[in-house]
Structure 1
Amino acid sequence: MSARPRTAKVWLLALTVFLVGIDENICTGILPAISNGLNVSMASAGQLTTVFSAVFALWAFTMAAWLSRHARRRALIVALVVFTLSNLVAAVAPGYAALFAARIAMGASCATIVLLCSRLATEITPPDYHGRAVGIIFMGISASLVLGVPLGMTLEHWAGWRAVFAAIALASAPLVFVLWRALPSGTPPAALTLRAYVRALAQPRRLAAQGVTIAMLGGHFTLFAYLVPYLQSLLAPSPDTMSLLFLAFGVAGVAGAWLGGWAADRAGPVASLLGCPSLFLVAMASVPLAAMAYQGDAWQVALFLVAMMIWGALSWSISPVVQNYLIRTAPQDAEANVGVNVAAMHVGVALGAGTGGALVDANALGLTPWVGCGLVALSVMCAWMATRTTRLAL
């Protein structure tokens, strides 16, 4: 197969996870509307992100072995059908409990989709393209912030939050047929064994690399899950301005996902794993510092926007960096390692959203970026532990 068809299929997979990314992050953008619409607290509405990520993490970890025994195309189609139906349920949910249940189904189906798309992207591309292939997949997720979340916020402003979930369901339904025709049926790869998971979890360096993902995304989502109320408390932006801020954040995220994949291939797995969380710590700390200096002047607005975009860019670079490191250091266990990492991503998201929710409940919204920085500092330590015995080898 030539490089062009392979690349085209990777981009199709990226389009699929683009919709998944909208579902995962949309509650962040419409948090106040859900809180008011269902008459629940802001922290309770924020837990819709937490439960999504917790289910995502548990499902990705426990189901990776089962998925390895089945043809990927069929499993992907089934997951897309469940994804579509769960969004329809969310759109008509009569109360918080029903929406909470729909988010559980979304988390499980989205975990399946991301896990399958990440592995398919590396299977249909040559080894020297793996980092960029995974980067393209996560560009799909970060692109959901560029188009999905701002458009979702705009749609919510005009038609209500239920219309957002209905629109996601209507957009995802055609992909069921497109992917069925575009992807080869294939045969399932060799089934994962318990021994492969034991190796993935028993190696200290691999566990430390997974810790980079958990701690860095945990720190990120401590603030990001409550970014709308945080920005409202600082800047009091209009709905249109808020959408533009998320648009800028998302554009930076797309660039960061590509940059992470490029760095993983060009700079090497060790240098990129060490550099990414270190740079992210500096970038995240710059956001509250820029906010503290904000007095409404144009140059201060620009400074805050630049800090926010750098933070956004680096936040989405970690997934291709860590997954490329795991694939390169243990190619024989790539399936198990990537499955664990997809779960680890959402352990981090759940950790961050839960931590941020606890701070919001304690009326400490302003502390979310600083507590997040503390978690990111742990990711820097994990990166050092993961690479200290492999610097010469790689």
Structure 2
Amino acid sequence: MDKRVYLLMMIAFVIGMVELIIGGILDLIANDLNITLGQAGFLITIFSLIFAIMSPILLVMTAKMERKKLMMISLFIFLIGNVITVFSSTYSIVFLGRVISATSGALLIILCLVMSPGLVERKYRARAIGLVSMGVSGAIVLGVPFGILIGNTLGWRAPFVVITILTLISMLGVYFLMEKVTPTPPVPIKDQLKTLQSPKIVFAHATTFLYMTGHTALYAYLKPFLQASTSLDGTWISVIYFAFGFAAVSGGGIGGTLGDLFGTKQTIVFSLIIFGIIVYSIPYMTFNIPLLFAGVVIWGVLSWAISPAMQSYLIETSPETSDTQQSLSNSSLHFGVAFGSFLGGIIIEQTSVNQNALIGSILIAFSLVTAYLSIKSRYSVQTRKEWQGE
């Protein structure tokens, strides 16, 4: 595997830390800024929403820029966003810091996803994407539980100080280790948008949106859920987050490998079936902690096993617009995170956090339907020829 893929994985790790770390310190932020848990959860929503919207836009706007230079600029802006968060004193300033971090982070993640498969042989393409996904899921391993531990000790801003340092290290890594990468010739916007005329493509992106919405509806509020349904203290809740995170890291690699070995379609369908069942079952496992741990591990693996398989599936379906499809898939994923955290916040304030798993599993069931519709739909070769003027 090309060493630069691991550098991209590290950058994805840092970005993932910022997006996901809020989930472990919602209560600390809410108490310090005198806001509700739902309002604190909206800091996840706004980050993911901007992430989703800006990812394809920035990819097109910067299509002609040399990739190393673009990464350095984006990392610098990302650094500024986190510095603002560290020194924030009000909810609105934290909000501003999240907006800046999300905007730059959106471009950084999609750059990592777009560049990684081009750095390896064709047969390792899904694994390269899986490694980048492992960077994000790795942020769950260290990010969320780390945020809980250091946040409880030094305050909720402390984790963002660490993230700022990691961003500086990433900038040094890109500067000294990353070679210049010439951007691929951009596909005209009108041709890129034509892919959305295909039901196969639309249903594929809908699948990503739905399963991630279902996942996030519970995961974004996992800490309040565990506090309400178990007698576990803060230390054991951190352990559960660690268990989930380590499983998620392996899930990214497992998903990419299974996609290469058994096919992307089979991997997507099988993973979604088990995923929906396990999310629905989580509330019924809280009576037995070992059983709950087992459920969390399976949940963690599947939460990140689907993404690399879906990315590779989209590349296979529309190789001419593979960069665009990866960008749109990344946007669909983060729209799911945004909507899932928003929906979860409504559920937790209007009913009970115990209902989050039920709603989440229903959404995952819908994603299985859209996945089936995508797989069964045809992506006409004739359409490709029309784009090429044949």
Decide: shared fold, TM above 0.5. yes
Give the letter for the 2:8 counterpart.
L
TM-score normalised over the length of structure 1: 0.94
Secondary structure of residue in 1 paired with 2:35: coil
> CA shift at 1:189, angstroms?
1.4
Contact 1:210 1:341 in 2 (8 A): yes
Helix, strand or coil for the counterpart of 2:157?
helix
CA distance in 1, matches of 2:342, 2:208: 16
Q: Give the Cα–Cα distance (whole angstroms) in 2 for the partners of residues 180 and 42 of structure 1.
A: 40
Aligned counterpart for 2:180 among listed residues 185, 188, 213: 185
- 5 Å-filtered alignment, 1:205-216, equals 205-216=200-211
Q: Pick which of 143-152 and 353-362 moved more.
A: 143-152
The amino acid of 1:371's aligned partner reads I
Establish whether residue 87 from structure 1 lines up as the match of residue 82 from structure 2. Answer: yes
Q: Which residue of 1 aligns with 2:374?
A: 386
One-letter code aligned to 1:356? G
Give the match for residue 282 of structure 2.
Answer: 287
Match of 2:330 in 1: 342
Query: Partner of 2:311 in structure 1?
Result: 323
User: How far 1:17 moved relative to its partner?
Assistant: 0.7
Q: Give the Å deviation of 1:187.
A: 2.2
Q: Which runs of at least 4 in structure 1 moved beyond 3 Å after TM superposition? A: none
Q: Report if aligned partners of 1:65, 1:193 keep a CA contact under 8 Å in 2.
A: no
Say yes or no: does 1:249 pair with 2:216.
no
Instruction: Tell me, in whole angstroms, the C-alpha distance in 2 between the residues paired with 1:44 and 1:185.
Output: 42
Give CA deviations for 1:17-43 in whole Å, capped at 9, x if unaligned.
111111110000001000001010010
Equivalent residue number for residue 44 of structure 2: 49
Cα shift at 1:188: 2.0
What pairs up with 1:369-384 in 2 under 5 angstroms?
369-384=357-372
- Identify the residue that residue 31 of structure 2 maps to in structure 1: 36
Contact 2:86 2:161 in 1 (8 A): yes
Ranges in structure 1 where 5+ consecutive residues have no aligned partner:
295-299
Contact 2:12 2:135 in 1 (8 A): yes
Q: What is the CA distance between 1:253 and its match in structure 2?
A: 0.4
SS in 2 for 1:161: coil
Contact 1:274/1:387 (<8 A) preserved? no
Query: By how many angstroms is 1:65 displaced?
Result: 1.1
Q: Does 1:62 align with 2:57?
A: yes
Work out the CA distance in 1 between the residues paired with 2:361 and 2:78.
Answer: 33
Could you tell me how far apart the structure 2 residues matched to 1:309 and 1:239 are?
19
Q: Is the 8 A contact 1:57 1:345 kept in 2?
A: yes
Equivalent residue letter for 1:228: K
**2:68 matched to 1:73?**
yes
Count matched residues. Answer: 380
Point out where structure 2 has 5 or more consecutive residues left out of the alignment. Answer: 382-390
- Residue identity in the other structure for 2:318: A
Identity of aligned residues (%): 29
When structure 1 is superposed on structure 2, of 358-367 and 303-312 the one drifting more is 358-367
State the TM-score, normalizing by the size of structure 2: 0.95
Matching residue of 1:368: 356
Using the TM superposition, give the Cα deviation of residue 186 of structure 1 relative to its aligned residue in structure 2, in angstroms: 3.0
SS in 2 for 1:317: helix
Task: Report Cα offsets for 1:169-218 as digits up to 9, x if no partner.
Answer: 01211211211221222322102311232233111101111111100000
Give CA deviations for 1:275-325 in whole Å, capped at 9, x if unaligned. 22112111212212213xx0xxxxx21001101111111001121011000
The answer to whether residue 320 in structure 2 is matched with residue 332 in structure 1 is yes
> 2:253 matched to which residue of 1?
258
Partner of 1:297: none
The residue aligned with 1:351 is 339
Residue of structure 2 in register with 1:106 after alignment: 101
For residue 127 of structure 2, the aligned residue among 108, 121, 132 is 132
1:278 aligns with 2:273: yes
Which of 151, 154, 170 is the equivalent residue of 2:149? 154
Is this contact kept in 2: 1:249–1:308, CA < 8 A?
yes
Alignment partner for residue 164 of structure 1, among 159, 164, 167? 159
The answer to whether the 8 A contact 1:200-1:336 is kept is no
The residue that corresponds to 1:173 in the other structure is: 168
Matches of 2:276 and 2:378, distance apart in 1: 23
* Cα shift readout 1:75-98 (whole Å, capped 9, x = no counterpart): 111111111111111011110000
Aligned-pair CA distance for 1:11: 1.1
Contact 2:199–2:377 (CA under 8 A) maintained in structure 1: no
Question: Which amino acid is the alignment partner of residue 298 of structure 2?
Answer: I
**Cα shift at 1:109:** 1.3
**Is the 8 Å Cα contact of residues 252 and 313 (structure 1) preserved in structure 2?**
yes
Which moves more between the two structures, 39-48 or 173-182?
A: 173-182
Task: Please give the root-mean-square deviation of Cα atoms over the aligned residues, in Å.
Answer: 1.4
* CA–CA distance in structure 2, aligned partners of residues 60 and 270 of structure 1: 25
